[in-house]
Chain A
Amino acid sequence: MSIHASVGLSQGEDSYAVGVNAAQDAIDKLGGGKLDAVIVFSSVAYDQKKMLDGVRSVTKNATLVGCSTAGEITTEGPAKRHSVSVMAIQAEGVSFYAGVGENIAAGATAAGKMAAQTVRSQVPDGKLDAFIMLPDVLTGNGADIVRGVLEELGEHFPVVGGAAGDDFEFKKTYQYLQDKVYSGAVVGLGLKGTFKIGIGVKHGWIPIGMPKKVTKSAGSVLHELDGKPAISIYEEYFGPEQAAELKKETLAKLAITYPLGMQVAGSDELLIRDPITVDAGGSITCAAEIPQGSEIRLMIGSREEAVKVAKEAAAKAISELDGSAPKAVIIFNCIARNKLFGERSGEEIVAIQEAVGKDVPLIGFYTYGEQAPLGGEVRNINKCNPAFHNETVVITVLGD
């Protein structure tokens, strides 16, 4: 019983060839044997179907899930430019089941439930051990998708995942299941068998100033705080001139450096909400829902702190393997963190690798939102409450 994983990365112009090369790279490193699961992350710069066909031409019928991203991450660190990364997994004693929930636009909860259902229905005894989700959040509320998944799998279930990206365009993302490319869907990968899983979830931001009450909101659109236009929280702190930057730019620097935080039970850190766009009326569209009545605070942080907590999160995940060696690392890291770090985003991955070991096969991507239990709690299953995060790094490690 053991997990073997390897990661391949490829860059280039021809979509099919890049798919083939990335998959072949992974397979070569694995050194033969039956392939149990394949995870694919790709830039939207490639023709998605051709790229996937390229990967499948190598990985054949092995269970495959994946999605488009806002930047790929591998054992070598964040990819410097458009690429395709592939993780090949061999796992004796672990079964993988994949499924999809389509049409998030028509019903996010239903789509989440459908993805989990199709995965679970394939399991002989209907019992899964962990679930990885890759949703689109441009067409629906990410928190609702998580809700749908949990409706099917149970309120307290280890769910991790990352929302697909499209290289910071915020137009259209893609999800992959076996040989098919979807959009506006959520793909799920269920794990069952003898393996250990550790999850680290942290962002490192701390709240500052007085909490403000959400007096009007709808889904992920925050209309009013304390009866004033939502933008007022930024205007009060930075002045109207600086705050106006949020109206001009998508996920502006100000929003990334000073996101909003929402108090939730079961997490010592506040749940981050990144303002993505701000309309003329001062309503803020966030990357995930902010329920009416919640209390919002401005968050403050630093790159140093962000790197520090990334390492802590990784160490926490490793500690949950109970001494087993980590065999594969999957990272869902927020695009906002990538923007915050800029050229230095590699430092964060290096810090994570200092904790997990720099040679452990690592795959991940920059997301439009992360899914993980609050505080990464998986030990005490009754306290395992998966949620939709922003500006957070989610580190999942698998061991025997």
Chain B
Amino acid sequence: MTLRLAGLLLVAVLALVPVTVLPTPPVTWLAGLALVIGGVGALTLTTPLVTTGASLAVIGYAIALALDRPAVDPVVAVAFGATLVLVLPLVHFAERARGAMVPPSVVAAQIRGWLALALLGAGIAAALTAGAGLLTPVLASARLPVVIALAGLGASLAVGALVRALLER
């Protein structure tokens, strides 16, 4: 039951973020829907429902940002991402462990592992954000052909990696 409540709490945090950005009816309705679907998923320990709820929260966050156009707030964004990292494995583990014998030490070790990965993700996201802030002036003054060439290089690297992954299968 504790894991269910923790999952519900994290889903509520995800649904609350878009409302705090822009508390207008469409965003509130979408956040409410995300809360209902994600909350049902957390209480019934159904990972696909929680994934749907989280996706709806992301969509609500995007709509709120697109409509309101506020100043960039990386802290909220990193917190939102870290919550996503925590909620999905928590519900997935609780779903797997339903009715099973799970020693408290195992649960504690799992929570420690999720927190470590969420902190790692949040730290790297913060570092990338800071790095992007430094790169912005450089990229802003870059010429369009350079940007297109870099984008093309990135795309070809991605396609090459995909082909290799498929061949390895």
Q: Do A and B bind each other?
A: no
Interface residues of A (CB under 8 A from B): none
